[in-house]
Structure formats: C-alpha cells, structure tokens
C-alpha cells in the first residue's frame, strides 16, 4: 500500500513530541504543505507559524535551539534554501545550532508553477555549507527512521522530503544507518545510483532491464553527508559503468558527488549523469512531463542504461 511520506513525517514528529515537550515545529504559512494539521490539533503550543518570512523562520529556529528547544522547520525547499540562504549558513551551520531543516516539495514537485517554485539546487547549496548533515529519504520507513535520527542527532540536519506516495522499498528489518549506501539489487553490467524518491523510477527500470537480459546493480544514497566513501567505492567497482539519476541539477548534486569520488578514487568507469543540465531552468509543466523530458522516468532510465551498457 502506498503511503504519503509527509504524513509519516508528521506522525513520527507526533510520537517524538509525546515523549519530549522540547520539540517544536516552525512553518512559514506552510501548514498545508507539510500536512501538519494532526500535530497542530494535538500540540497547538508546539507549532509556530511565522508567515511567509523564511529568513525569520530560520533565525527563530536558531534562537529556540539556543534556548534548549529542538526545532524542526517544515516549509517549501526552494524558499528554505533559497530565500533564507544566509540565515541557514550563518545561524544554523556556522553557529552549529541544533536545528532540523526539512525542505518540502523539492525537485519538480510544484510542476506547473515553474522555475520560481522548482527546487533543483538545494542539495548543492546544503553540501556547500560546512557542518550540516544532508539526508534524503526514499520511502515511508526511511522517512520515519530518518526523522527519529535527526531528532536525536545533536547539530544541524537538512532533510529533503518529497511530497510523494510510495510503497516501502526496504525489507521489514531495514535499519537506516547514516552515511551508508544501500544496495537494492546486485548486477554486473551497470550500476545505477539514485537518492530520494526517484529511486522508484529506477527500480521499475531495473526490473524491465532484467527482463531484457541486463544485470543492473541499483544503489540508493539516503545520506549524502556523511557518506561512507570507501563502502560506496567498493560497490562501484562491481561494474565498469555508472549512471546517476537525480531530480536536481547535475551541478553540485548527486552526479557531481559521484564524479568527484570516481576521480579521487582513480576508478576506471564510464559515467553518465541524468538530471537537469547545468545552467538550465526546468519548464513549467506537470511533474511527470518534466521527468519524462529529462529522462528521469523508467523509460528514460532504461534508454540511457542500454546506451551506456552497449557503448
């Protein structure tokens, strides 16, 4: 059964708040975006709505943490990382405040609202800052465990949280381990690496590629920082070809991280990045149409995978 991962996020926050009254959620006129109504009804004094004022939201969250609170922000990723860039850098990262930034509706989630609302640079922005962990859940189970981890982790954390209904892609005994790559399938012809909910497109592609006789290793990175580079390098050596897939600009995101890793590790690999090309804005269109245009759906991933395998 598919579950909206934002609902799982709020349910997890409610359970955490029940045992610790220091947890507070800040929204910027984004209560519907983060689906926080059940939490607000149960804990009305633990929600602060600052209005459309993201810089204030980040500054207030930093101040609350210095007062001993455990603040989570829950607002749209393009405005959290774009509009309040300086406050995130200075008040959260440089100051090492115990704030959990949750960026909602990343990638093309806002679809037809266009480039002003698309979020294609939040990962590159977060990874350019020092002193902040960067996490990207792919399914309901990972969302719950990642939220619990961020709550208990002392220090800044950024969670890229999609608006997405998904089935679990992990076994019942799955345990999220920060920094560790997750191998979903084994293969020898090609490695596909993804992060976040785009992995569901990659899983569909892997099944069809397997039916066509291709052996594909599929890896997802729920944690971009920290990252166990040694473990990931070891997995990449299983094949000589690599395809990265991300709902993000190829500049500064997953593909760039992998390119650096390949270069630094001296791996001899053929490598192709799927994402929004550097220097481009995505068109204002429905999300599925945009994904298809950039080959970020199962058919596009299959096409690029076969092209890479066959050379």
Last residue of a domain, one of 113, 137, 166: 166
Instruction: Indicate if 201 and 147 belong to the same structural domain.
Output: no
pLDDT < 70: residue spans in the chain: none
Cα dihedral across residues 242, 245, 251, 257: positive or negative: negative
Instruction: Indicate if 134 and 49 belong to the same structural domain.
Output: yes
| pLDDT in the model for residue 34 | 87
What's the domain range around 233? 183-310
Q: What is the pLDDT of residues 160-169, one digit of tens each?
A: 999 989 899 9
| pLDDT in the model for residue 1 | 82
Instruction: Indicate if 254 and 155 belong to the same structural domain.
Output: no
Do residues 79 and 54 touch, judged by C-beta distance below 8 A? yes
Q: What is the pLDDT of residues 55-113, one digit of tens each?
A: 999 999 999 999 999 999 999 999 999 999 999 999 999 999 999 999 999 999 999 99
Do residues 120 and 107 touch, judged by C-beta distance below 8 A? yes
pTM higher than 0.85:
yes
Last residue of a domain, one of 166, 198, 232: 166
CATH number at residue 270: 3.40.50.920
């Amino acid at each position: 059964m598919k579950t909206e991962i934002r609902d799982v996020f709020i349910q997890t926050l409610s359970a955490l708040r029940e045992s610790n009254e220091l947890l507070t959620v800040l929204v910027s006129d984004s209560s519907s975006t983060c689906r926080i109504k059940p939490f607000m009804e149960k804990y009305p004094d633990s929600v602060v709505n600052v209005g459309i004022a993201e810089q204030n939201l980040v500054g207030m969250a930093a101040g609350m943490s210095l007062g001993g609170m455990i603040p989570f922000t829950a607002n749209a990723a393009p405005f959290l990382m774009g509009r309040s860039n300086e406050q995130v850098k200075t008040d959260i990262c440089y100051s090492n405040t115990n704030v959990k930034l949750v960026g909602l509706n990343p990638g093309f989630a806002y679809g037809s609202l266009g480039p002003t609302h698309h979020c294609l640079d939040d990962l590159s922005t977060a990874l350019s800052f020092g002193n902040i962990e960067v996490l990207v859940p792919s399914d309901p189970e990972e969302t719950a465990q990642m939220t619990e981890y961020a709550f208990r982790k002392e220090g800044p954390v950024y969670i890229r949280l999609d608006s997405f209904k998904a089935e679990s892609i992990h076994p019942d005994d799955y345990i999220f381990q920060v920094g560790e790559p997750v191998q979903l399938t084994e293969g020898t012809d090609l490695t596909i690496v993804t992060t976040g909910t785009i992995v569901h497109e990659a899983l569909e592609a892997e099944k069809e590629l397997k039916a066509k006789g291709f052996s594909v290793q599929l890896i997802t990175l729920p944690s971009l920082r920290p990252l166990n580079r040694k473990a990931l390098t070891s997995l990449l050596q299983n094949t000589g070809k690599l395809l990265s897939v991300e709902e993000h600009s190829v500049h500064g995101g997953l593909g760039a991280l992998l390119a650096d890793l390949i270069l630094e590790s001296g791996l001899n690999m053929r490598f192709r990045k799927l994402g929004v090309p550097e220097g481009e804005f995505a068109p204002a269109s429905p999300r599925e149409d945009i994904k298809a245009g950039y080959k970020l759906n199962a058919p596009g991933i299959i096409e690029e995978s076969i092209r890479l395998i066959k050379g």
